[in-house]
A and B are shown apart, each in its own frame.
Chain A
Amino acid sequence: MNDPSKLFRVLVMGGAMLGTACVSAPAEVGSDGSTPDAAADNGEDAGAVEDELCFCPGPESTCCEAGPGGASVPREGIMCCWGTSC
């Protein structure tokens, strides 16, 4: 079975970032799934959600940046989900 903690990060935290604007660094998630309330931390930026979605559509996305060696990698706090990559 796939790792549920990855599902938690991709679905729950990924969705929370979308809902409260694109947060550059999501809160650490404990093994029990507990986490500081990212929504409360970033509620004032909710309007920005209209301008920036946190899905990684591809290499041209703002979710990606140049990593070591020049390769395109996800920005800190961004996770690619299935079917997407930088």
Chain B
Amino acid sequence: MRDEARAARIWQVRERTEHEAASLFATLASDLAASDAPSALTELASRCAEDERAHAILCRAIIDDLYPELPPLAPDPSPLLGPPSASAERRALYTSVALGCVTESLSTALLLEIRKGAERPSVRHAVGIILEDEVRHARLGWAHLAYVAAQCDVRWLAPSIPGMLRAALATERPDIDGAEGASCLAAFGILRASDVERICRATVDQVIRPGLAMHGIDVPLD
């Protein structure tokens, strides 16, 4: 398979992920509104949902550039994070931490590295926009966590963090599988498996884990 086609398949998965993230942020905005969170957080979550929809369009533009025959993958129609029986407040915080503190923090770190090697104009254009937005998305998670932690104990989240990390790392798995044995796809925005693992580990150990510990959420070491 040509490198372009190989890379396009990974962007196809990313396109689906962006659609799912848009749904999750929209649900988060609803839960924040229902839990009387500051309107700035609710509005930010709504903006994040719009960002993610725009990201999906950027991913599609890359696919069209690299391998136009690839159709969109069907996203999960109704993704939901957190215990189904949880209150809107708890579900919102669970989603903020899983999506913002964990997934988007990892994405930011990976995109910083991806941007260095992205040479294809369509990829470079998209990565620049997505990176700027991911910073805001991650900050929403850390902002919501800090807001709630200032008022009550958030340590109930601790047992769920390893699962959140596993799920987030699995999201990056297409990069690992797609680049395995392939020539370097950095120009198309695809990192080597070893780089993905190294960056994720450093981000978990030096950003996510200490950030959660600030609020009393201790995550056991691997």
Given contacts A4-B109, A7-B203, A33-B206, contact A12 B38 (CB under 8 A): no
Contacting B at CB under 8 A, from A1-60, are 1-2, 4-5, 7-8, 10-12, 14-20, 32-35, 37-40, 42-43, 46-47, 49-50, 53, 55
**A32 to B209 CA separation, bound complex (whole angstroms):** 10
Given contacts A33-B206, A33-B213, contact A11 B138 (CB under 8 A): yes
Give the residues in chain A near B140, CB-CB below 8 Å. Answer: 15, 18
Query: Looking at the complex, which one of B40, B142, B144, B213 makes contact with A14 (CB distance below 8 Å)?
Result: B142
**A1 to B202 CA separation, bound complex (whole angstroms):** 9
Query: Looking at the complex, which one of A2, A15, A81 makes contact with B141 (CB distance below 8 Å)?
Result: A15
- How near does chain A come to B48, taking the closest CB pair, in angstroms? 13
Q: Is B174 an interface residue (CB 8 A)?
A: no
Give the residues in chain A near B38, CB-CB below 8 Å. Answer: 46-47, 49-50
Query: Looking at the complex, which one of A38, A49, A83 makes contact with B40 (CB distance below 8 Å)?
Result: A49
**A59 to B207 CA separation, bound complex (whole angstroms):** 29
B113 with A1: CB separation less than 8 A: yes
Give the residues in chain A near B41, CB-CB below 8 Å. Answer: 19, 49
Count of chain A residues with a beta carbon within 8 Å of a chain B beta carbon: 35
- How near does chain A come to B136, taking the closest CB pair, in angstroms? 7
Contacting A at CB under 8 A, from B105-153, are 105, 108-109, 112-113, 128, 131-132, 135-136, 138-147, 149-151
Cβ-closest chain A residue relative to B195: A1
Given contacts A8-B210, A46-B147, A50-B40, contact A16 B136 (CB under 8 A): no
B40 with A39: CB separation less than 8 A: no
Mark B23-60 against chain A: 1 for CB-CB distance below 8 A, else 0. Answer: 00000000000000011110010000000000000000
A8 with B211: CB separation less than 8 A: yes
**A50 to B42 CA separation, bound complex (whole angstroms):** 10
Query: Looking at the complex, which one of A12, A17, A20 makes contact with B211 (CB distance below 8 Å)?
Result: A12
Give the residues in chain B near A42, CB-CB below 8 Å. Answer: 150
Give the residues in chain B near A37, CB-CB below 8 Å. Answer: 149, 214-215
**A50 to B199 CA separation, bound complex (whole angstroms):** 34
- How near does chain B come to A82, taking the closest CB pair, in angstroms? 6
Taking Cβ atoms with an 8 Å cutoff, the residues of A that contact B are 1-2, 4-5, 7-8, 10-12, 14-20, 32-35, 37-40, 42-43, 46-47, 49-50, 53, 55, 81-83
Closest 8 CB pairs of A and B: A33-B210, A15-B142, A43-B150, A19-B143, A19-B146, A4-B206, A12-B211, A19-B147
Told that A11-B207, A34-B213, A46-B150 touch, could you supply 5 new A-B pairs with CB distance under 8 A? A12-B214, A16-B143, A20-B150, A39-B150, A82-B112
